[in-house]
Amino acid sequence: MVDADRLAASGGKAARLYPMTFEPVFKDYIWGGRSLARFGRRLPPEGPVAESWEISAHEDGTTRVENGAHAGRLLTEVHAELGLDLIGRNNAWAHERGKFPLLVKLLDAHTPLSVQVHPTDDYARAHEGNELGKTEMWYVLHAQPGAELIVGVTAGTTREALGRAIEETRLEPYLHHVAVRAGDHVCVPAGTLHAILDGLILIEIQQNSNTTYRVYDWGRVGKDGKPRPLHVDRALDVIDLDVVEPQVEAAQVVEEEEGYRRAVLCRNDYFMAERIELDAGSVLHGTCNGDTLEIWGAIDGRAKINDLDLPAVRFALLPASLGDYAVRAVSPATLLRTYTPPPRPWLDEEQAA
């Protein structure tokens, strides 16, 4: 364990604030497979691995720093010490609740996930203690031919009809299917009825939450031989029936020059996600000025962030008060960059309530 005195002695703030990588935490949910080994994950000898939590400070699975002065420490410990220097002023609302704002995962959907929904912040706070809501984004790393997602409901769906369909296990007429392929992204606001179907490997960027309300689980049983719990009443409370038949959207290119291209994938109240494409040898300069952390992930190729090597598929956390940084493409590289926007007034009002 590295304590604050040792960190100060080893170089002060510069030693404490640097791009960090983490040891993943694996989850053996029944729908997982073994495909994450293809992306460099050292899986347990046997059994399914459904999720690899890459950067997490959630009580259900907290990652440890694997490099630099904080090596061996839990992200929750680093956050407790560094505070807003780590997560940024934009996330003061989360810090006041003792929360790291985001969570990054890899998912291996060997079989379909349940049909489910996640609550909003307001609902989670009222019904799930200090848990956050869950707005998320998926980036498709791999898709077998014909792979699909369920996202939103079909036109004309009412809460009463959906409730009856759940009770009678005949949901299909109300579920909207979307075909996806590698490189697609899907923004999934809290309240969206959804299911990740089989044959997909995804990156998931989300609020720091692990609350899921299942409405249908394909009639299967868990590892204990019993059906997994459903949460129909709460799901019906939070399902947003205005998310009707959404389609996969194209990335919005906002900046392009020789050797460099930047596109916005998702914008919401909790994070911004961008795709950055760099030619080999290109260098992108940025600054973490204290407003927000940044999370960078290499989708393919290889990059360096300052002195940190970032191969595919790995993720790095840049502290909010890091200062200047440089991303250098060792080879042609595609990267995800995630950061948090300034909070909207309603969020400040919620915290004051």
**pLDDT one-digit tens code per residue, 239-267:** 999 999 999 999 999 999 999 999 999 99
What radius of gyration, in Å, describes the C-alpha atoms of the chain?
A: 20
pLDDT at 49: 98
User: What's the whole-number average pLDDT of the chain?
Assistant: 94
Helix, strand, coil share (%) of the chain residues, nearest 5: 20, 35, 40
pLDDT at 117: 98
**What SS3 state is found at 199?**
coil
The whole-number average pLDDT for the span 315-320 is: 98
Distance CA 63, CA 84 (A): 19
pLDDT higher than 90, residue 74: yes
Is 262 marked active-site? Answer: no
pLDDT higher than 60, residue 3: no
| 75 contacts 25 by C-beta, under 8 angstroms | no
pLDDT higher than 90, residue 349: no
Q: How confident is the model over 279-297, as pLDDT tens digits?
A: 999 999 999 999 999 999 9
pLDDT at 338: 98
State the Cα torsion 345-208-4-19 to the nearest 10°.
-90
What pairing do the DSSP bridges indicate for beta strands 136-143 and 213-216? unpaired
Share of the chain above pLDDT 70, in %: 94
Q: Lowest mean pLDDT: which of 49-53, 268-272, 343-347? A: 343-347
Q: What is the pTM of this model?
A: 0.94
| 337 contacts 273 by C-beta, under 8 angstroms | yes
The whole-number average pLDDT for the span 149-174 is: 96
pLDDT at 14: 73
Distance CA 99, CA 340 (A): 14
pLDDT band at 328 (very low <50, low <70, confident <90, very high): very high
pLDDT higher than 50, residue 86: yes
- Domains of the chain (ranges plus CATH)? 4-238 (2.60.120.10), 252-339 (2.60.120.10)
pLDDT higher than 50, residue 4: no
The whole-number average pLDDT for the span 312-337 is: 98
The whole-number average pLDDT for the span 130-157 is: 97
The whole-number average pLDDT for the span 217-241 is: 94
DSSP per-residue string spanning 243-265: -BS--PPPPEEEEEETTEEEEEE
Distance CA 304, CA 330 (A): 7
pLDDT band at 222 (very low <50, low <70, confident <90, very high): confident
DSSP per-residue string spanning 8-65: HHTTTHHHHSS-B-EE-EEE--TT-BSGGGGGT----SSS-B-EEEEE-EETTEE-EE
| 95 contacts 87 by C-beta, under 8 angstroms | yes
pLDDT higher than 50, residue 114: yes
Distance CA 83, CA 97 (A): 12
pLDDT at 218: 94
What pairing do the DSSP bridges indicate for beta strands 102-109 and 115-117? unpaired
The whole-number average pLDDT for the span 81-102 is: 96
The whole-number average pLDDT for the span 37-52 is: 96
Q: How confident is the model over 193-208, as pLDDT tens digits?
A: 999 999 999 999 999 9
In the block, residue with structure tokens 């200047």: 324
The contacts of residue 326 (CB under 8 Å, 6+ apart) are 283, 284, 285, 286, 305, 306
Q: What are phi and psi of 214, to 5 degrees?
A: -85, 140
| 286 contacts 322 by C-beta, under 8 angstroms | no
What pairing do the DSSP bridges indicate for beta strands 64-65 and 22-23? antiparallel
| 351 contacts 96 by C-beta, under 8 angstroms | yes
pLDDT higher than 90, residue 234: yes
The whole-number average pLDDT for the span 332-353 is: 78
Among 113, 215, 116, which residue's Cα sits nearest to residue 164? Answer: 215
Among 254, 258, 274, 278, which residue's Cα sits nearest to residue 266? Answer: 274
pLDDT at 6: 46
pLDDT band at 2 (very low <50, low <70, confident <90, very high): very low
pLDDT at 13: 73
pLDDT band at 21 (very low <50, low <70, confident <90, very high): very high
| 116 contacts 209 by C-beta, under 8 angstroms | no
pLDDT at 9: 42
| 130 contacts 99 by C-beta, under 8 angstroms | yes
pLDDT at 343: 87
Q: In what order do the strands lie in the sheet with 323-329?
A: 283-288, 323-329, 302-305, 308-311
List 16, 73, 214, 275, catalytic entry: 214
